[in-house]
Each structure stands twice: as structure tokens, then as C-alpha cells.
Structure 1
């Protein structure tokens, strides 16, 4: 079996230990990834459970042509995309939009740096999924371009193009909102 980027000979033998290992190793990362799609922590937790059940059910199919991390991210991205295409997501998104309370803090309560981080996070979540996933995997999960291409089942040049367009899109949005871009 494979752990992260290195092969591991002493992988847990029992089925429950294998599932626990995967959840301990990747659980929080996958939940945060699911949140970037769902924008709802409860739904992200539910999808994360589905992701690990699916990963566990397909462990025997794993041919070690990539890392287990890449495989789990591939499953996670597919599950999240399925959710975003579902009627439940659309209904939840509309409901939250209509009933959402303002949670913005006054400028006196925030430091300039935290405001900028929040603005960037918000703008990333507004990006189309094909750009959002590349930005998150590259900058926040520190995947290489090749790993992103494998996780998304995309051509390397497509990943490079999406990353370039995502950065340009973010820069444009930040300029439009008056936040500028500091690199």
C-alpha cells in the first residue's frame, strides 16, 4: 500500500485499521477540500464520510500507479462534484442565500492582514469549480502540477492553463473590490 508519496510495507492488516489509518491520515484535509465545494461544514463532514467509505471499498482496486493520497483526492473531487451537481446542493445554496445573516465585522475589529486573508478565501470560493480546485490543491495542499493533473484526471497543460486563469481571475476580482494584489 502507499502512504502519501512513499510506499509502506507495514500497512494495517485489519479492515477497520485500514479505514482508521486513512481517516487519521487524510480526514481533516479531505473535509476542508469538501468544504471548498459545499461551503457548509456539516455537509462537508457528511461527504467526507462517503469519501472514506468509497476509498475503503475500492482499496483492493488500487494498483499503486499513483499515491494513495492522489487516489483519495480523486475520489473526493468526484464525490464533491457529484454533490454540487445535485438538486440538494442547489436547494441548500438558495436557502442559505436567502436566510444568511451578515457576519462581517467592523473594520476596527480586524487586522488588515486577516481582512485580506478572508477576502482572498471568499474570492477563491467564488471561482468556478475548475479553477477553485486547482488553486486549492496547488497553494493550500501543495500538490505539484503533475499530482493535480493525476487527481483531476486532466492533462498537465490543462492544469497549468487553469492555474494561470484562476490567478488572473483572482487578481481581477481583487482589483475590482479595491483590495489590490500583493503577490
Structure 2
């Protein structure tokens, strides 16, 4: 079958987004990913006339991209300049992927890393967990390659000495008692006159959970009833059920279980980002509807970050949102799933106080989220705001502007428009601390 140059270019443009998403997800280093993309376009151009049917072009192009990524990793592994300690590698990588009820073995491995000197734990994690070559680790840590080699050698010895490391788990309950009260504890938020701190937050916004097998969290939402009282309206559980692969990319499957419905989503943790790869839920006919990062409709609900790279683990001020002297916000262009850090705050829940940074996140459909993140990198409090005219006049039954529905709740002014506080979400690990602090 003969495909002319002009038609080939049209086909490439038609599927460019799919291939870029695939490569950026598989290759964590952006510069390398861009080089691989150029190789893919060249291979496709040189071999396009070997394709038998034009309808197979997309699948054929994805196969080329997948093979190019595999070739990249084969090259990376061959470039490792330090001989692997096979016994250590086998034990370490096996345990990272294993788990048992109530606690993941990976968690124990990570605890050993945390007990090592920071410089050793970092090198070991980059080499074995993220499988980066010595040269790339040296580049990331701004160190000579010889220093990386010596640290890796010392880290191997210390890891072997301290592992296996298991905490005494006698008396642990298999399931926590319901600790969410019917009425929300009092929550106060005070601006702190201090610089915003930077922190690594390994949790996905709104989910309060890290993509590691065996993780589990319960969450409760509190809506306004009689201001300022907030009553519990619903609870749900998020459980990481196991490992999965989406288009050949290893990830974690999590189930979000509400009282009457559930859905599953798939996400992973890279060195720099939390990435969502897919999600499914049952449609009205009872069929599972799966959407992945290669589907065009996926990004309207799940895509985050530049080049759809995911949400940055390092939470810091980006400068995308301007905070004016009167506390109102300005952002030149509002897009779904954009976010920024705007200010430092003391959040008090009951009698327990937290030093936090305020994370502003733009959801789709004129929704805005405040998320407060502690110095320990945990999501403390999630607050949902709706634009004043959110869904007014639509079939959902919201007949009045939100300024009238909740006349006394907090407001955020963004680009001169009012966003109204609707509800809060609290995770069980925060309620645990609040209850303990009140006793």
C-alpha cells in the first residue's frame, strides 16, 4: 500500500497526541522522551509503506513507539557502570512488588531506606527502584559519578544489614472503628505571616492516598446544614487493590467505594510526579466503561500538568496564581487541573493544629478546590468551592446561585468572580489525631 508524504503527515498529526502521551508516560526524563519521539517519526516515515492497511496506522504507530521505549531501557541498563549485587537486587525488587494484608512489604523496604543516611537511601532508590543509570543519578544529584558509585556500594551494605525490618504489629486492628462524628469538629484557618515551605507530597489531590499496594484510607464529607454547623453527608473508602498494567506501563489499581456505587482508577508514582493512567466505572447498562491516558476524553477528567505529566510531588509556589493585597486571586488563564501554592496557614481541627501550605486546584466545570498540606507532606483538609452560578438552570436541580444557597459560608474571589464554600473532606488519619489530641 502506497501512502504519499502529505497523507503520512496528516496521519501523524491525527495521532501525535496519543504517541506523545505514551512516550512521556513511559520515559521519565523529558529530554530523552523528546529524542525518542523524533526516532519514532523517522522510523514511521521510513517504514510506512510496509503497512498493509491504512486503518491499522494508529496501532502500528503505537507498536513502533512501544518498541522504541523498550530499546531505550535496554540501552539504559547496558550503560550501568556498577555491577549489580544480584542477591540484593532480586530481594529488593521482589519485596517492592509484594504485599500482605494490612501492610505492604514495600512499606518495610521504604522504612529501611528512611533509616539509611539520606544520601545513601536516595542513591539506592534511584538506582534500583527507578532504574536510572549512574550517569543520570550523578546528573540529578549534581555529584561526580565516582561519588555515586561509592555511595551506592555503602548503601547496599547498610541495606543488607538492616533488612528485613518489620515493626511489631501485634494488636493492630484489621479494620478501624468508625471515627467520623456526625457533626464536624470545629475547623479554623489562619493566615501565617511566613514564607511558604516546599514539601514532597506523595498523595494524589482529593484522594488522600499514596499509590502503593496495601494502602487504605477512609474519608468523610461534611456539608453545611445550619451555618456554621457541618453535618456528615457521606463516607467512602479508597483501597489500593494490587498492581496493574495500562498499555504496558506498570501502575497501581485503587478502588473508590461509596455506599451505593464504586469506581476504580489506576495511578503510579514516578520520581517527580503522581500520574493517573486510567479509570473505569459502570455505565447505565452495567458495562464497565474504561478510559485510559491514550483516549481523547481522558484529559477532560483526569489529565494533569504540562504534557500531561501528572501532578508534581514537590509542592511549591509556581507563580501561576497572583494573590492580591485584599486576598483575592488572579490567574491569567484558568484550565482544568491547573494548580499552585498560595500562602502558608495554620489549620486547627478540633484542638489539633497543623502548619500547612494552601494548595489551590482548578477542577473541571467551574469548581475550585483548596487543599491544605502539612510539613510532613500529608493532605490535611480538602475544601470544595463552586462558582456562584455552578449548574444553575441545568437539570441537576440547582435553581439558585450558590451565593443564595449558602449566604454565610466562605468565599474565594478569583478574577473578580465569586466561588462559594460547599463542603469539606477529612481523612481518617487526621480524625485519629484529632480524637487522640482531644482525650
Q: Which has the higher contact order (CA 8 A, sep 6+)?
A: 1
The structure in which a higher percent of residues are helix is 1
Rg larger in structure: 2
The structure in which a higher percent of residues are strand is 2
